[in-house]
Amino acid sequence: MKRLLLTLVAGLLAATGLLGASIWLIAEGVGGERHLGGPLAEQPIPADAVAARATRQDRARHPVAAPADTQILFGDLHVHTTYSGDAFVFSLPLIQGEGAHPPADACDFARFCAELDFWSINDHAEYLTPWQWQETKETIRECNRVAGDPRDPDLVSLLGWEWTQGARSGKRPHYGHKNVIFRDTEDDAVPTRPIGAGSAGLLGEVEISSLAWALVRAAITVGDLPDNLQPYLDFNAFAAEVRELPECSPGMPMRELPDHCLDSAETPAELFAKLDDWGFASLVIPHGTAWGIHAPPNATLAAQLDGSQHDPARQRLFEVYSGHGSGERYRQLVHVEHAADGSVRCPAPQGDFVPCCWQAGEIIGSRCADAAAATCAARVARARQSYAELWPRDTAAAVVPGATADDWAECGQLAGGFLPAFDYRPAMSAQLGLAARPRGSAAGAAAFRYGLIASSDNHKARAGAGYKEIGRKAFGDAWGFRQDWIDRLKPDPTGDPAEPLSPAEIGAVPGFVDPGSERNASYYYTAGLVAAHSSGRSREAIWEALVQRRVYGTSGPRILLWFDLDNAPGGIHPMGSEVAAFDAPPRFTARAVGSFEQLPGCPQHTLDRLSADRLERLCLGECYHPSDRRYPIERIEVVRIRPQVRGDEPIEHLIDDPWRVFECANTADGCSVTFEDPEWTPHREHLYYVRALQVPTLAINGDPMRCQRDADGRCAEARYCPASGDDFDPDDECLSPVRERAWSSPIWILPGKTLAADGR
């Protein structure tokens, strides 16, 4: 009936020539449908299959003498469905999308494809409509109902959203993205509406009028006619509904606001205050902090320790790795140098780090070899200076006409880092946060003391999609326009390719598309996981492990990891503990066992519960399917951080990474090491965490730019991994060897009284 109505309306408009009315109907999504949350599969994983997980762990404990008081459970606390506005766009045909993936897909993927123990849903609150929030709650409750006995479920599903704030221009404070998750799921135990970042949100710096946004929606729809109308009508209807929702009145108590309004908090302090007003058990987890696509170069986590922008009772965890890359390491990266008079210049490479302004000169130099030496040198210098003056704006790349992603190679990136985030921001890294204190602070000032976890940040409802290195675009978030859209958006190259453009000339380049968005496809990976040392499989036991920071993160494989302080008063203290200083050098033990090699296909119990079509659409026909063979642990690395005593103390001398390295025997039985810190002093705070590294295996985008390196370790020649265009090969997973790893939560030794965990 609806298809007939659309046909009649289209025919009427064509016959009468009402172009304006046509554009309005398309932009408003007349005929669009809502993507409802379900249905989902009605049977859980068999109880014997769930029990086998614990049995396999028990067998792995004995060779490394690991404690048996907890079971390690694996989950994903960062999952998006097409209820997120960006995920909805990624699902559209112009992005080569798969179509809708509503919350039921996330539940079934977590349960059957990835066989997780727990997960949370985290769609962007800024675009989450009241009906979507209701559908989300009902789907999560249904996913938990299917799980069986709440004391021993096959899967625990947590409710949440993402608070998505960004200030890429640096003109206002940047706080970044934070996932909010709740312990409970019933209507009287969770907020009536999610809380977004409002005008400080991800697109808050881009002011788009209602008319302009309607024209954009109409344009992308018309550009894909006649074959792909329905997905755009669905999106346009959703976008129009979000645009029409009124903002909630500021300052009103949460329970007095109407159900149908968009609630917002422009700063973390406002978010924490609103969560306090609701009073429900919740955690707030920063993530993606070092990803330069959102964070400006001057952003620093230390700024969030000033005032009330940090809530130590809720911000107990930090996502150190996701499918969007690692944000662990702190390293000084100098992109441009600023003089006292306000001028800028392009610095030379620093070790294996190459500033993009420098690379601009390298590209021009390779093109002007036929010119006189002095002429070519002048062009190289102009290219570097022009880029430095424009950096960090996207238009800086237009300095070099027609430069490709391969031309830019690894410039501006954290070269040599493990699966790094794109356009890395070191001052937003986990290590910087662990080391930082506010400016002008004294000892005992506010501090980040968070456990380290990993998750997926998958935007296709695929929780924990890191069990096999397949499906680069489905199991990761790499995206790109279809070739016909690339041709529409990219201007024809103009000018002499060997002559750099000046900043004034770049202002006249129409429709410039930053080639960085192409390189970005090489910096998406498959999912990480959070691992919880839990006293049981129940929701309450998992929540307690999260609050107490008895957690660690992995880059995807289910590595088993234990990290304990052995010789403090009161017995053994596990990862996540805060311990008062005592009269002996601290002694630690780290134990790790590698993950299982995977069998092809899916276990029989999954084949029995999902249809062949759903198995292929969700899991790509491949599930978590462990063999009896484990990968060896190659080594264990120890990181030591002595946090600042004052906020102006130089950070780089306080982070020892790695501080100690222990090589392990090449055996599937795992690895156990014990060590002390003879340099430790009881008068200063110290924290320690460990990384357990597996033997090398192939991973998607393991070497993001697939570099051939010179003698200095720099990327002399690159071959990026496209996600679209003529060079895109859907059969090329862009595999390179990496050492998959697990990061423990730290153990803190404090110079004062032991601090008890104050979680909610």
Q: What is the pLDDT of residues 407-444, one digit of tens each?
A: 999 999 999 889 999 999 999 999 999 999 887 665 55
Mean pLDDT of 159-164: 97
Integer Cα distance of 287 and 281 in angstroms: 20
pLDDT value at 755 more than 70 = no
pLDDT value at 490 more than 90 = no
Mean pLDDT is lowest, of 167-171, 314-318, 730-734, for: 167-171
pLDDT, tens digit (0-9, with 9 covering 90-100), for 720-735 = 999 988 888 989 999 9
Write down the pLDDT at residue 203.
58
Mean pLDDT of 470-492: 83
pLDDT value at 685 more than 80 = yes
Write down the pLDDT at residue 496.
84
pLDDT value at 585 more than 70 = yes
pLDDT value at 200 more than 80 = no
Name the one residue in this structure whose structure tokens are 């501090």.
447
**Contact between residue 705 and residue 600 where contact means Cβ atoms under 8 Å apart:** no
* 549 vs 26, higher pLDDT: 549
Query: For 454-603, where are the alpha helices, taking DSSP H only?
Result: 483-489, 503-506, 516-519, 539-547
Integer Cα distance of 84 and 203 in angstroms: 13
pLDDT value at 679 more than 90 = yes
Q: What is the DSSP letter of 753?
A: S
5 band by pLDDT with thresholds 50, 70 and 90: very low
pLDDT, tens digit (0-9, with 9 covering 90-100), for 506-549 = 865 544 445 446 899 999 999 999 999 999 999 999 999 999 99
Mean pLDDT of 598-613: 97
pLDDT, the chain, mean? 90
Mean pLDDT of 461-470: 97
Mean pLDDT of 393-397: 86
475 band by pLDDT with thresholds 50, 70 and 90: very high
Q: Helix axis angle, 229-244 relative to 210-222, nearest 10°?
A: 170
318 band by pLDDT with thresholds 50, 70 and 90: very high
* End-to-end CA gap in the chain: 51
* Residues 6 or more apart in contact with residue 251 via CB below 8 angstroms: none
16 band by pLDDT with thresholds 50, 70 and 90: very low
* Residues 6 or more apart in contact with residue 468 via CB below 8 angstroms: 475, 598, 622, 624
Q: Look at residue 561 and give its three-state secondary structure.
A: strand
Integer Cα distance of 182 and 394 in angstroms: 38
Write down the pLDDT at residue 515.
46
Write down the pLDDT at residue 107.
98
Write down the pLDDT at residue 148.
95
Integer Cα distance of 538 and 206 in angstroms: 44
Per-residue DSSP letters for 562-630? EEEE-SSTTS-EETT-EEE--SS--EEEEEEEPPEEEPSS--HHHHTTS-HHHHHHHHTT----EEEEE
744 band by pLDDT with thresholds 50, 70 and 90: very high
* Residues 6 or more apart in contact with residue 374 via CB below 8 angstroms: none
Distances (CA, A) of 59 to 63, 72, 75, 628, 713: 8, 13, 21, 11, 42
Mean pLDDT of 67-78: 96
* 753 vs 162, higher pLDDT: 162
**Contact between residue 201 and residue 126 where contact means Cβ atoms under 8 Å apart:** yes
**Contact between residue 647 and residue 439 where contact means Cβ atoms under 8 Å apart:** yes
pLDDT value at 658 more than 60 = yes
754 band by pLDDT with thresholds 50, 70 and 90: very low
Q: Helix axis angle, 229-244 relative to 19-27, nearest 10°?
A: 80
**Nearest CA among 608, 540, 533, 614 for reference residue 46:** 608
pLDDT value at 6 more than 50 = no
pLDDT, tens digit (0-9, with 9 covering 90-100), for 256-313 = 999 889 999 999 999 999 999 999 999 999 999 999 988 999 999 998 998 789 999 9
pLDDT value at 14 more than 60 = no
